[in-house]
């Protein structure tokens, strides 16, 4: 028996979404919920896996993009809502969906696919690697030190105020690893806002205008006095805007603790507060898993630091057109017939591509085939980035 995968017609998408929700142990949406949620599907981008004429699995993508080192922004398929029927697990439905979806992404000229993984053991085999990571933080009784440079003002807006749609596009994309939030993805946010109570959004205005926002809600409240605030979205154009927003969160009354679940791993909040123990890093987690779908285009588009060129072999049996050797140097990257100094699979290429992991560390972990022992350090010099890549957009 073979599973067949094809794009779903608009009229089939609701059944696919019901299947996806069931894979997350949730029931179907009501007609009323579906009425607004249907806009969160981009036409033609939901795939269905069929056993005969029975829908057994689904996956969708949104048209997004990804900022890479050097500043280029390249098209990326934001993959989500991946699910397979409980009674059809481990029979190849996901494998079939991934194969067809990646071929579709390639056909559309998208250089990357990106997703957030429900479980870390699933996607590496399809060439997805952890390209950005984030830290989960909690602050209790924290205050910023007097010398922390920030200013401006903060205003609270209505929860779900669409001002943040444009604001994200204008100020949220400075960093490597950030992605576009297309209209259909915002619909997903709106759905989440609709079912979460007491959401609050605050916008920061700096010297050049609005330059950041946070959205939070109280959780684990005890009586009227003490609340834990869970920050769900934290976007800042630069460090000044980020510290201004932290300062605002620290200043709120009746708050026992502030928790933020995604911040850049190199944000030095503990160094910016009076007592470093008032800020806890609760964990460092995988953020965006990236699949390099068009390796020549991706390697050619990012910037490299000064250093000796190195030949890298990419092994990509799933998207065979990517396989081959590439010479990478300060001037860029292109295919070559020369001998390779290292070889990597698509997953490891995705991990090093944005600078989130070093070649030497992954070589030490046995993830890079090293043919020239000097090559990992030489590649680290070429791939070095100023800031840790960070996505900070969960979907
Ligand atoms: C995860 C899920 C989509 C997998 O679907 P599936 O059709 O059972 O997967 P397949 O049979 O195609 O398996 C493909 C490969 O992935 C592996 N795999 C599948 N699910 C896995 C998991 N949860 N953890 C580790 N490996 C997994 C299989 O062992 C198989 O490996 P191999 O071919 O390399 O030997 C399905 O279990 C599901 O719907 N889970 C709940 C919803 C969910 O987590 N969705 C993902 C959202 S990001």
Which domains, ranges and CATH numbers included, belong to the chain?
4-115 (3.40.630.30), 135-285 (3.40.630.30), 294-383 (3.30.1050.10)
Annotated active-site residue 243? The verdict is: no
Tell me what pLDDT residue 87 has.
97
The ligand 1 atom nearest the CA atom of 97: 12
Rounded to the nearest 5 degrees, what angle is found at the Cα of 45, between the Cα atoms of 79 and 40?
Answer: 75
Separation of alpha carbons 42 and 175, rounded Å: 26
Rounded to 10°, the helix 375-383/346-353 angle is: 50
Q: What is the pLDDT of residues 105-151, one digit of tens each?
A: 999 999 999 999 999 999 999 999 999 999 999 999 999 999 999 99
- Position 224 pLDDT exceeds 80: no
- Position 220 pLDDT exceeds 90: no
- Going by C-alpha positions, the residue among 311, 354, 355 that lies closest to residue 335 is 311
- Going by C-alpha positions, the residue among 83, 101, 78, 64 that lies closest to residue 26 is 83
Query: b/e per residue, 253-268, with b = 16+ CB within 10 A?
Result: eebebbbbbbbbbebe
Set 128, 243, 304, 395: catalytic member: 395
Separation of alpha carbons 9 and 16, rounded Å: 11
Ligand 1 site-directed mutation target among 78, 85, 90, most atoms within 8 Å of CB: 90
Separation of alpha carbons 78 and 56, rounded Å: 22
Tell me what pLDDT residue 162 has.
87
Q: Is 313 annotated as a binding residue?
A: no
Tell me what pLDDT residue 88 has.
98
Average pLDDT, the chain: 96
For residue 195, name the pLDDT band (cuts at 50, 70, 90).
confident
Instruction: For residues 57-66, give the mean pLDDT.
Output: 98
DSSP 8-state symbol, 24: T
Separation of alpha carbons 354 and 296, rounded Å: 15
Tell me what pLDDT residue 330 has.
98
Q: Is 220 annotated as a binding residue?
A: no
Count the residues in the chain. 395
- Position 248 pLDDT exceeds 70: yes
Rounded to the nearest 5 degrees, what angle is found at the Cα of 263, between the Cα atoms of 258 and 267?
Answer: 105
CA of 83 to the centre of ligand 1 (A): 9
The ligand 1 atom nearest the CA atom of 49: 7
CA of 3 to the centre of ligand 1 (A): 14
- Position 194 pLDDT exceeds 90: no
Q: Are strands 342-345 and 310-315 parallel, antiparallel or unpaired?
A: parallel
Q: What is the pLDDT of residues 148-177, one digit of tens each?
A: 999 999 999 987 788 999 999 999 999 999
Q: Is 82 annotated as a binding residue?
A: yes
Cβ contact 177:72 at 8 Å: no
Tell me what pLDDT residue 197 has.
82
- Position 306 pLDDT exceeds 90: yes
Nearest CA to ligand 1 atom 21: 122
Separation of alpha carbons 219 and 191, rounded Å: 19
Beta-carbon contacts of 266 under 8 Å, excluding residues fewer than 6 positions away, are: 387, 388
CA of 38 to the centre of ligand 1 (A): 26
Tell me the β-bridge partners of 285: 134
Ligand 1 neighbours, Cβ below 6 Å, are 23-24, 57, 82-84, 89-95, 117-119, 121-122, 125
Side-by-side strand order, sheet with 112-115: 4-7, 46-51, 54-67, 73-84, 112-115, 289-292, 128-130
Separation of alpha carbons 296 and 235, rounded Å: 31
Set 123, 128, 243, 326: catalytic member: 123
Ligand 1 site-directed mutation target among 19, 82, 94, most atoms within 8 Å of CB: 94
Tell me the β-bridge partners of 74: 66
Annotated active-site residue 394? The verdict is: no
User: Cα dihedral angle (178, 182, 185, 190), rounded to 10 degrees?
Assistant: 110
- Going by C-alpha positions, the residue among 282, 286, 212 that lies closest to residue 249 is 212
For residue 222, name the pLDDT band (cuts at 50, 70, 90).
low
CA of 356 to the centre of ligand 1 (A): 26
The ligand 1 atom nearest the CA atom of 96: 12
Q: Mean pLDDT check: name the lowest of 188-197, 340-349, 360-369.
A: 188-197
Q: Is 239 annotated as a binding residue?
A: no
- Position 225 pLDDT exceeds 80: no
């Amino acid at each position: 028996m073979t599973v067949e995968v094809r794009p779903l017609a608009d009229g089939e998408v609701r059944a696919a979404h019901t299947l996806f929700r069931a894979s997350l142990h949730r029931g179907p949406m009501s007609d009323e919920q579906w009425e607004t949620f249907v806009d969160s599907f981009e036409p033609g981008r939901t795939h269905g896996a069929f056993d005969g004429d029975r829908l057994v699995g689904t996956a969708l993508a949104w048209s997004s993009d990804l900022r890479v080192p050097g500043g280029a922004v390249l098209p990326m398929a934001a993959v989500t809502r991946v699910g397979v029927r409980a009674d059809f697990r481990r029979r190849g439905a996901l494998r079939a969906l991934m194969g067809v979806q990646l071929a579709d992404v390639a056909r559309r000229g998208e250089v990357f696919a990106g997703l957030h993984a429900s479980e870390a053991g699933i996607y590496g085999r399809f060439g997805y690697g952890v390209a950005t990571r984030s830290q989960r933080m909690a602050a209790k009784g924290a205050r910023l030190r007097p010398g922390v440079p920030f200013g401006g003002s903060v205003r609270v807006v209505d929860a779900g105020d669409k001002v943040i749609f444009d604001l994200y596009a204008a100020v949220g994309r400075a960093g490597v690893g950030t992605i576009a939030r297309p209209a259909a993805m915002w619909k997903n946010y709106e759905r989440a806002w609709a079912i979460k109570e007491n959401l609050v959004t605050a916008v920061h205005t700096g010297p050049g205008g609005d330059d950041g926002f946070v959205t939070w809600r109280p959780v684990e409240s005890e009586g009227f006095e003490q609340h834990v605030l869970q920050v769900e979205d934290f976007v800042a154009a630069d460090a000044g805007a980020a510290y201004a927003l932290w300062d605002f969160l620290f200043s709120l009354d009746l708050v026992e603790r502030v928790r933020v679940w995604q911040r850049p791993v190199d944000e030095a909040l503990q160094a910016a507060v009076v007592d470093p123990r008032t800020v806890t890093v609760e964990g460092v987690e995988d953020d965006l898993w990236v699949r390099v779908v068009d390796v020549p285009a991706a390697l050619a588009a990012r910037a490299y630091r000064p250093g000796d060129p190195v030949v890298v072999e990419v092994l990509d049996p799933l998207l065979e057109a990517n396989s081959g050797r590439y010479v990478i140097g300060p001037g860029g990257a292109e295919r070559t017939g020369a001998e390779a100094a290292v070889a990597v699979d698509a997953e490891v290429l995705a991990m090093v591509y944005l600078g989130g992991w070093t070649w030497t560390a992954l070589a030490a972990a046995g993830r890079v085939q090293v043919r020239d022992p000097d090559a990992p350090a030489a590649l680290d010099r070429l791939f070095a980035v100023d800031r840790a890549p960070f996505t900070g957009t969960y979907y």
